[in-house]
Amino acid sequence: MYTERPDYGNGYRIKYLRGIEEVINQRRKECEKNRSGFMKDFSENQEEYRKKYLDMLGWPLNIKPKEILSVTKRLVFEDDKMIIERIQLELFKDYLFYGILFRHKTDKKLPLVISQHGGWGTPEFCSGFFDTENYNNMSMRIFNKGVNVFAPQLCLWQINRFGPDNKRDELDLKLKQLGSSIAALEIYSIKRCLDYFEKEPYCTGVFGMAGLSYGGFYTLYTTAADTRIKSALSCSHFNDRIKYGWASKSFFNAASTFLDAETAALIMPRHLAIEVGDNDELFTPETAQNEFEILKAYAKGHEDCFKFHIFKGVHEFCPENDEAIDWFISKL
């Protein structure tokens, strides 16, 4: 029987691997052409594009919302100025979605802003319960602008520090096999929170959203999905998703349809502030600027819907001042 060294076929395998990369490069060029023409009739058919977008993200965003099965509340803190509560909503049987509500102690109804933590984060972390790090006291800075704030927990916490292995990528894979995604499930969950809050006596029914990093991703994608969110602030996320194609931020055929610029275009005529750091250690500001130029082409006649700013800082939330916060709050 013929025998040979185990590495004899390595050259063929190397060529095969290179070939796969070349197929990807060729297909990517085709997708770039498809992308350039995808939004050609967007201005006349925005809701049709939103439906395509929700279908891309997957179930349960493309079905009629289920009834909220239960709501539990626990008082965390109260003084003469504010009330803090932990709120847990059962959105599907045994699926409990929770967050922390900060509301002003007043009889006046106020807008409500979702304050979304990022990777390795929690609502307690981004709200300064024990530390603030690169969140720069995000939730409280927004709260101090005279709005109520809800900070939800997503499947992103730092393993061991804040809980067990969240198995995010594994869960995302399982959900994608079922026609869904972890992003779709969590965006749906945030939308259901809006359904709950808009009926509460302290809420005007006007919503905003802000987030850092992965929270900036959820801010961008949730605001595109739900028109009740009138204004948003996405910090340290908006960029080139081909260059920065993380697994749970990637969706079927997105390169031809909805990358960050197209997703942001769905927010018009509402408002979106985009903030990126000039020394961000994860995403380059130059590629963010390039993606924004694509968005500007879609936004002709609606340029004032968007504010793009490169701040002096790293991967963090609005370190210089409150200018972006004030702008997006003013648009509620």
Q: What is the pLDDT of residue 132?
A: 85
The answer on 168 and 25 residing in a single domain is no
Q: Does 152 lie in the same domain as 267? A: yes
3 state DSSP class of 85: strand
Q: What is the pLDDT of residues 218-227, one digit of tens each?
A: 999 999 999 9
Alpha helices per DSSP H over the chain: 10-38, 46-57, 123-126, 138-143, 168-177, 182-197, 214-225, 260-265, 285-298, 323-330
Starting at the earlier edge strand, list the strands of the sheet with 229-235: 70-78, 82-92, 95-104, 148-152, 110-116, 203-212, 229-235, 271-277, 306-311
> Is 110 found in the same domain as 4?
no
**Quick one: pLDDT at residue 109?**
98
Q: Helix or strand or coil: residue 293?
A: helix
Tell whether 34 and 60 lie within a shared domain: no
Question: Global pTM?
Answer: 0.96
Closest CA to 215 of 122, 307, 324, 305: 122
Give the tens place of pLDDT for each residue, 71-80: 999 999 999 9
Same domain assignment for residues 114 and 63: yes
224 and 325 fall within a common domain: yes
| Residue 131's pLDDT band (cuts 50, 70, 90) | confident
Total of domains in the chain: 2
Closest by CA to 110, choosing from 209, 229, 202, 227, is 202
Range of the domain at 33: 1-38
Co-location of 110 and 193 in the same domain? yes
Verify that 98 and 228 share a domain, yes or no.
yes
Both 300 and 197 in a single domain? yes
Work out the average pLDDT over 91-95. Answer: 97
Tens digit of pLDDT for each residue in 26-58?
Answer: 999 999 999 999 999 999 999 999 999 999 999
Mean pLDDT computed over every residue of the chain: 97
* 101 shares a domain with 184: yes
Q: What is the CATH number of the domain that holds 264?
A: 3.40.50.1820
* 313 shares its domain with 224: yes
Q: Is 90 exceeded by the pLDDT of residue 22?
A: yes
110-120 pLDDT, tens per residue?
A: 999 999 999 99
Q: Which residues pair with 209 in a beta bridge?
A: 114, 232
Give yes or no for a contact between 220 and 190, defined as CB atoms under 8 angstroms apart: no
193 shares its domain with 116:
yes
